[in-house]
Amino acid sequence: MKIPATQLRVILVTIVAVISLIFLILLYGITYEHISSTLSTSNKLMHANNVEIELEKLISQLKYAETAQRGFIMTHDSTFLRPFMKSRAEIESCFAHLHSLLAKDVVQLKHLKLLEQTVNSRYDLLVHNLEGAGQKVVVPHDLKAKLEKGNKKLESSIQIMNDMITYQDESLRTLEKKHIESIINTPIIYFTIVVITLIIFTFLIYKLDKERKKLIRMNDELIITNQSFVHAEELAGLGNWRHNFQDNKFTFSDNFYALLGLTPGEKELNLHTFLQMVHPSDRLDVINVFRNAYRNYQPFVLSYRIHSKENRLKYIKSIGRIINDNNNQRYLIGINMDITELVTSNKQLEMKNRKLELFNADLASFNYVASHDLQAPLRKIQMFISRLNEVELPNVSSLGKDYLKRIHASAAHMQILINDLLMFSRTNAGNKKFELTNINKILHHAKEELTLQIEEKEAEIISDDLPVINAIPYQLQQLFINLISNSIKFTSEGTKPVITINCELVGKEFIAPEEEFPSESFYKITFTDNGIGFETLYSEKIFNLLFRLHDKMSYPGSGIGLAICKKIVENHNGIIEAWSEPNKGSKFFIYLPANLS
Amino acid sequence: MANKPLDIILAEDDEDDRFFFKEAIEKVKIKTDLTMVNDGVELMEYLKNPENGKPHVVFLDLNMPRKGGIECLEEIRANKEYNDVTIVIYSTSASDNDIEETFVKGANIYIRKPNDFKILQKVISEVLSINWQYHTSGLNKEHFVLSI
Amino acid sequence: MYFFIVLVTLNTIEIMKLYVKYDIHYAVNVIIREKLTELGLEFELGGLGEIEILNEISETKLLQLTSYLNHYGIDIVDNLKSTLVQKTKDVIREMIYKEEGLPTSKISSYIAEKVNRSYGYLHNLFAENTYTSIGNYIIMQKIERAKQLIMEGDLTLTEISYKLSYSSVAHLSYQFKKTTGLTPSSFQRIIKRRRGEIETAPGKEIITNLASTNASNNK
């Protein structure tokens, strides 16, 4: 599953916060560690000092005892003995104190034991000396030896004590050294951690700020979008609404209300009140569509009428579908569109079209009826002329005979005219269904239809292989019949008509580049004959209705045949052109769209 | 068969046309017995009357009041009994498509009313002759279509 | 002689159409044999509608036979001239409906030889009795044959024109149009539409092998 960008940012910020928390805890740990280590170091220092003090006390007591001894020996005054006795007690208490102080230090305890022995033996000597002195029998050299011995013991005790002090000092120094080292590192570690934490926090704040700004910007944009949306809805006559499935709440846009002729939020609008506004005959459709949307989650498009509050009939087009949002809430969302104008203008257009169609049909049927119904009386006139010619001719004067002949010719011409007009009106009206048409077959059928003329004049028709195009078959056949019969008709007497039909594919730029054509390429079909031809200046006029180049006697015709051709080609979105010079034959070019759809 | 006159009905509302037709058919070599009715309703009544017997050839104008030629054509062809009656449409010229429609509906011959009496005579003679050939020479009547 | 006839079986509910091929001569012969035997007559059948009765025949029996055969649309032609005309017609039909095509020799002499009379005599006799000429009758029969072949649909128009000794397809089309007023294609379309085989509206292109072969002809 793809995690959206916002969610990713939240995850990132959380990670950063957790990391900085870990760093803070780390910082606390290190600080605690340092404080406790400093505390133990100072404890140790105090301890070492106490030991030294006790030892100094010990030495001074020993010296004190010495001095008291000497004083007694010299004076035999027992007052000197009292401090001596006191020093002994002090020394005992000193040892007891030292024992408690050095209980954990094995090396110092050894030293202490040795010291105790030495001090005890010294005191024994002192006591001995004092006993001697008390008997008053003093042997000088004996005394001297005893004093020397006592001095020696004192010196060795002092020596041991010095050793102890030295050891104590040394261990203190290493301790101090270690302590100083750790104290030097502490600020660096503190500093690093603080800096890292600061960086992380800065990053965090930066990120949060960026998010915030983004949110503000998005919010601003949303406000603008919303406003333009509201505006657009008003302009386009749209209203949107949604229905939350979970809390069954409907939300309508302002213009939704406006479409119904309500002011936004004016009335408790819901599905029921909305349906009340729907035109009664459309209501069931709307209900069914909604039901289908709710039950089967089917999207819908529907048009119906409503009566707005200001009692106007409006045509509404609704589209709607079911959506799920990010929180898996299901909505039916829909857009209503006011299509009243569209419907009205369409209706107007339809009406105009119908009128036009009716008008065209009227015209076509007028043409048809006129030419069709004109045939009957004309035919009867001709019949009576033929009866007169047959039965009554001996009774008619020569002038009368001439008149009869002229009436006959006029009637004949009128008949051609009516026939061709009839055909022209059929080309205009009639079935105009396009289908894929093989022009080879069209030519074949045209030749079949003209078989009598072709045989009579021994005409030869040579043609290329012709393409398949999208065309109205019977009209195309009429076109070929008219062009071929035209060529056969306008051939000088004694000449066998030769008609060549060529075909090539050309681009639309070949015809008239500035004009709009539905097709990119055209089939150019060229009819070339060896007939009498015509002046080049008439090459456009010959396609005009009722335009003729020859008198009725030499080449009877109505001047409609080529107009029909033009009409047919125009029905096919094509172009017809002609080129000719007198006695050089003529060429007719037909351009028909080559696309098959 | 050659000796019996052909029973012919012409359904035509135009008096002049009936006149020309009567005059023309009288000049044809083949012996005929012509009955003329004014419109489609009269024609169908005539055909339904058992006293009148089955005609050999029916000439039908297309544009007639009350009941037109096409309606008559369809009614006659719907009745199997009249299968071998030759139906000739006798009308003003129409488009090839309209003519084809009458053939598809069961007409045998389509005559575009000529504008010359001699031609009318010739056409009627031709029609009766070809009809006679179809009857006497055992030709396939299904293929009997002719447009004059 | 083979013809297509349409058998129409009329049910109250549905109509079934069968298109059959049959030999009219054979059928007529069977009927005549049956009827003659029924009346107890001895006979010999000639090639072209001649019946030679070997024993004597009473007036009543002849009338009986006439009515029997009339029932099947068979007329007894006692007139020699009529017999000759009928014989000429039969010769022409046989000639046109031959599978191997029309005779290579001149048609007038072929007919004269077959009927055993001079062509000039037959020509006049024919015109007097049939409202048409031998020439027109031949054309009509040829076009009828062409119609049949077109509807069978096995041959192209080129092949049909060859089979019926036309110089070209154009010539056949020409004579077809002149005789029927219709082009071969529209004739085919009309009959097919009548039979309900196609529902093409007029003016619409129909699928026909007639057109395709002809179109390739002008190249």
Answer yes or no: is pLDDT of A225 > 60. Answer: yes
Task: Work out the average pLDDT over A449-478.
Answer: 86
Answer yes or no: is pLDDT of B126 > 80. Answer: yes
User: What confidence score (pLDDT) does residue A451 get?
Assistant: 83
Q: What is the mean pLDDT of chain C?
A: 71
Extents of the domains making up chain C: 25-76, 137-218
User: What confidence score (pLDDT) does residue C12 get?
Assistant: 52
Weakest mean pLDDT among A191-200, B73-82, C74-83: C74-83
Give the residue from C183, C210, C212 with the most A CB atoms within 10 Å of its CB, the best one to mutate.
Answer: C183
User: What confidence score (pLDDT) does residue A501 get?
Assistant: 92
Say which residue, A261 or C48, is predicted with more confidence. A261
Among A489, A381, A374, smallest CA distance to A421 is for: A374
Q: How many residues does chain A have?
A: 597
Residues of C in contact with B110 (CB under 8 A): 181
User: What confidence score (pLDDT) does residue C207 get?
Assistant: 39
Answer yes or no: is pLDDT of C185 > 60. Answer: yes
The answer to whether the Cβ–Cβ distance between C182 and B145 falls below 8 Å is yes
Give the residue from A386, A388, A392 with the most B CB atoms within 10 Å of its CB, the best one to mutate.
Answer: A386
Search chain A and give the residue with CA nearest B23.
A387
Helices C107-115 and C80-97: crossing angle, nearest 10°?
A: 130
What percentage of residues in chain A have a pLDDT greater than 90?
A: 4
In this structure, what DSSP letter does residue C89 have? H
Number of alpha carbons in the 13 Å side-chain half-sphere of residue A562: 25
Distance from CA of B112 to the nearest CA of C (A): 11
Number of domains into which chain B is organized: 1
The answer to whether the Cβ–Cβ distance between A383 and B117 falls below 8 Å is yes
User: What confidence score (pLDDT) does residue A106 get?
Assistant: 80
pLDDT band at C154 (very low <50, low <70, confident <90, very high): confident
Which of A144-158, A511-525, B12-26 is modeled with the greatest confidence?
B12-26
User: What confidence score (pLDDT) does residue A6 get?
Assistant: 67
User: What confidence score (pLDDT) does residue B51 get?
Assistant: 83
Q: Is A250 buried (19+), middle (13-18) or exposed (0-12) by CB count in 10 A?
A: middle
Among A593, A524, A454, A587, smallest CA distance to C214 is for: A454
Search chain A and give the residue with CA nearest C214.
A444
Residues of C in contact with A445 (CB under 8 A): 183, 185, 211
User: What confidence score (pLDDT) does residue A484 get?
Assistant: 92
Q: How far apart are CA B46 and CA B38, in angstroms?
A: 11
Answer yes or no: is pLDDT of C47 > 70. Answer: no
Q: What is the mean pLDDT of chain A?
A: 81
Residues of B in contact with A386 (CB under 8 A): 115-118
Q: What is the 3-state secondary structure (H, E, C) of A372-423?
A: HHHHHHHHHHHHHHHHHHHHHHHHCCHHHHHHHHHHHHHHHHHHHHHHHHHH
Question: Which residue type occupies C118?
Answer: S
Distance from CA of A414 to the nearest CA of C (A): 24
User: What confidence score (pLDDT) does residue C1 get?
Assistant: 42
**Do B45 and B74 form a contact (C-beta atoms < 8 A)?**
no
Assigned CATH class of C137-218? mainly alpha
**Do B76 and B82 form a contact (C-beta atoms < 8 A)?**
yes
Which of A373-382, C15-24, C58-67 is modeled with the greatest confidence?
A373-382
Search chain C and give the residue with CA nearest B108.
C180
pLDDT band at C202 (very low <50, low <70, confident <90, very high): very low
Q: Which of C202, C205, C215 sits opposite A437 (nearest CB)?
A: C205
Q: Which of C8, C181, C203 sits opposite B147 (nearest CB)?
A: C181
Q: How far apart are CA A530 and CA A537, in angstroms?
A: 19
pLDDT band at A517 (very low <50, low <70, confident <90, very high): low
Query: What are the tens digits of pLDDT across the range B42-92?
Result: 888 888 888 888 888 889 888 888 888 888 888 888 888 888 888 898 887
Provide long-range contacts, Cβ within 8 A and 24+ apart, for A109-112.
A111/A160, A111/A163, A111/A164, A111/A167, A112/A164
The answer to whether the Cβ–Cβ distance between A451 and C211 falls below 8 Å is no
Task: Work out the average pLDDT over C125-147.
Answer: 80
The answer to whether the Cβ–Cβ distance between A415 and B115 falls below 8 Å is yes
User: What confidence score (pLDDT) does residue C3 get?
Assistant: 45
Task: Work out the average pLDDT over C113-121.
Answer: 72
User: What confidence score (pLDDT) does residue A190 get?
Assistant: 77
**Do A76 and A70 form a contact (C-beta atoms < 8 A)?**
no
The answer to whether the Cβ–Cβ distance between C170 and A451 falls below 8 Å is yes
Among C159, C132, C139, C160, smallest CA distance to C148 is for: C160
Task: Work out the average pLDDT over A345-358.
Answer: 89
Weakest mean pLDDT among A27-41, A322-336, A474-488, C84-98: C84-98
Task: Work out the average pLDDT over A71-75.
Answer: 77
pLDDT band at A500 (very low <50, low <70, confident <90, very high): very high
Question: Which residue type occupies C39?
Answer: L
B1, part of any domain: no
Give the residue from A368, A379, A391, A482 with the most B CB atoms within 10 Å of its CB, the best one to mutate.
Answer: A379
User: What confidence score (pLDDT) does residue B34 get?
Assistant: 87
Task: Work out the average pLDDT over C148-173.
Answer: 81
pLDDT band at A5 (very low <50, low <70, confident <90, very high): low
Q: How far apart are CA A85 and CA C160, in angstroms?
A: 170
Domain with B59 in it: what CATH number? 3.40.50.2300
Domains (ranges, CATH) in chain A?
A: 5-207 (1.20.120.1730), 237-338 (3.30.450.20), 346-429 (1.10.287.130), 431-593 (3.30.565.10)
Q: A368 pairs with which residues across the strands?
A: none
The answer to whether the Cβ–Cβ distance between C211 and A445 falls below 8 Å is yes
3-state SS, residue A351: helix
In this structure, what DSSP letter does residue B106 have? T
Residues of A in contact with B17 (CB under 8 A): 380
What percentage of residues in chain B have a pLDDT greater than 70?
A: 93
Answer yes or no: is pLDDT of C213 > 60. Answer: no
Which chains, if any, share at least 3 CB pairs under 8 A with chain C?
A, B
Say which residue, A243 or A143, is predicted with more confidence. A243
What percentage of residues in chain A have a pLDDT greater than 70?
A: 94
Q: How far apart are CA C97 and CA C145, in angstroms?
A: 7
In this structure, what DSSP letter does residue A583 have? T
Say which residue, C18 or C139, is predicted with more confidence. C139
Search chain C and give the residue with CA nearest B98.
C202
Answer yes or no: is pLDDT of A22 > 80. Answer: yes
Owning domain of residue B139? 6-147
Q: What is the ipTM of this complex?
A: 0.80
- Is B78 part of the contact surface with chain C (CB cutoff 8 Å)? no
- Is B50 part of the contact surface with chain C (CB cutoff 8 Å)? no
Answer yes or no: is pLDDT of A126 > 60. Answer: yes
H or E element, residue A75: helix A5-75
**Do A253 and A240 form a contact (C-beta atoms < 8 A)?**
yes
Query: What are the tens digits of pLDDT across the range A390-417?
Result: 888 888 888 888 888 888 888 888 888 8
CB atoms within 10 A of CB C132: 17
The answer to whether the Cβ–Cβ distance between B133 and C5 falls below 8 Å is no
The answer to whether the Cβ–Cβ distance between C75 and B1 falls below 8 Å is yes
Question: Which residue type occupies A259?
Answer: L
Distance from CA of A449 to the nearest CA of C (A): 7
The answer to whether the Cβ–Cβ distance between C4 and B103 falls below 8 Å is no
The answer to whether the Cβ–Cβ distance between C180 and B1 falls below 8 Å is no
Q: How far apart are CA B85 and CA B82, in angstroms?
A: 5
Which chains, if any, share at least 3 CB pairs under 8 A with chain B?
A, C
Among C106, C184, C185, smallest CA distance to C138 is for: C106
Q: How far apart are CA C120 and CA A346, in angstroms?
A: 80
The answer to whether the Cβ–Cβ distance between C205 and A438 falls below 8 Å is yes
The answer to whether the Cβ–Cβ distance between A451 and C201 falls below 8 Å is no
Residues of B in contact with A474 (CB under 8 A): 97
Question: Which residue type occupies B14?
Answer: D
User: What confidence score (pLDDT) does residue C205 get?
Assistant: 41
User: What confidence score (pLDDT) does residue C212 get?
Assistant: 40
Q: Which of residues 455-474 of A touch B (CB under 8 A)?
A: 474
Question: Which residue type occupies A594?
Answer: A
Helix residue ranges per DSSP H, B3-146: 15-26, 40-48, 69-78, 96-104, 117-136
Answer yes or no: is pLDDT of A44 > 70. Answer: yes
The answer to whether the Cβ–Cβ distance between B129 and C132 falls below 8 Å is yes
Q: How far apart are CA A350 and CA A348, in angstroms?
A: 5
- CA geometry: angle A228, A231, A232, nearest 5 deg: 85
Which chains, if any, share at least 3 CB pairs under 8 A with chain A?
B, C
Query: What are the tens digits of pLDDT across the range A80-125?
Result: 777 777 777 888 888 888 888 777 778 878 888 888 888 788 777 7
